[in-house]
Homo-oligomer: A and B are copies of this chain.
Amino acid sequence: MAKDMTLLWGSGSPPCWRVMIALEEKNLQGYNQKLLSFEKMEHKSQQVLDMNPRGQLPSFKHGNNILNESFAACLYLESQFKSQGTKLIPDGAAEQALMYQRMFEGVTLAEKMANVIYYNWKVPEGERHDSALKRNREALVTELKLWEGYLQKLGAGSYMAGKNFSMADVIVFPSVAYIFRFGLSPERYPKLAEYFALLKERPSIKGTWPPHWLENPQNQDTLKDL
């Protein structure tokens, strides 16, 4: 089915993981794929640049159609394979509104997370400030409390936009997994921890778990004091 698709990806990258989860949910197994190493700078290789002038992963192709932005790839897959696999965008106006709203708040969650976890990677040494990192950490706490509140309001056993798994989960779950990987306290964020526990056993997610996390299951402690 999916032999006309190619995915170039990196282990643990939330954008790559989103596309992999969407492919599984839409029953698009059997696509061509290649795991590349960010450390070895393989995302800047000619193979990637031929598909993606930005030199980023994921790089994704369906036939001649190129979708390198993870949100674009996920929405395209849902649209082109609407009746196949999991329905990721609900039809009902209220459910759909909440789904889109949370899906795009996911951009902010990912950004605020990256501003802490990747601070040293993003900011050259001479430009780093403790005050900036402190502010980024506070902004991430505010952000996480918002999401904790969203889940609280939805009630136990909920997905990110209600009773059903949706595109909001495809987009947001990899960030949530990342945050716990980097040591967030399940005790201080119990609803996010419950959400994480519910989704990590889902086949589309379990089957696409970042291979280097499997090899080294030990969490890091960057976020343990948040």
What chain B residues lie within 8 Å of A105 (beta carbons)? 69
- A100 with B127: CB separation less than 8 A: no
Interface size in chain A (residues, C-beta < 8 A): 38
What chain B residues lie within 8 Å of A119 (beta carbons)? none
Once the chains are docked, how many angstroms separate the CA of A40 from the CA of B75? Answer: 38
Nearest chain B CB to A163 CB, angstrom units: 17
Residues of chain A from 59 to 102 with CB closer than 8 A to chain B in the complex? 62-73, 75-76, 79-80, 89, 93-94, 96-98, 100-101
Once the chains are docked, how many angstroms separate the CA of A141 from the CA of B194? Answer: 44
A224 sits at the interface (CB 8 A): no
Q: Residue on B with the closest CB to A104?
A: B69
What chain B residues lie within 8 Å of A64 (beta carbons)? 94
A124 sits at the interface (CB 8 A): yes
What chain B residues lie within 8 Å of A63 (beta carbons)? 93
Once the chains are docked, how many angstroms separate the CA of A5 from the CA of B64? Answer: 40
Q: Name the 6 nearest CB pairs between A and B, nearest first.
A: A65-B97, A69-B104, A72-B100, A72-B104, A127-B129, A71-B104
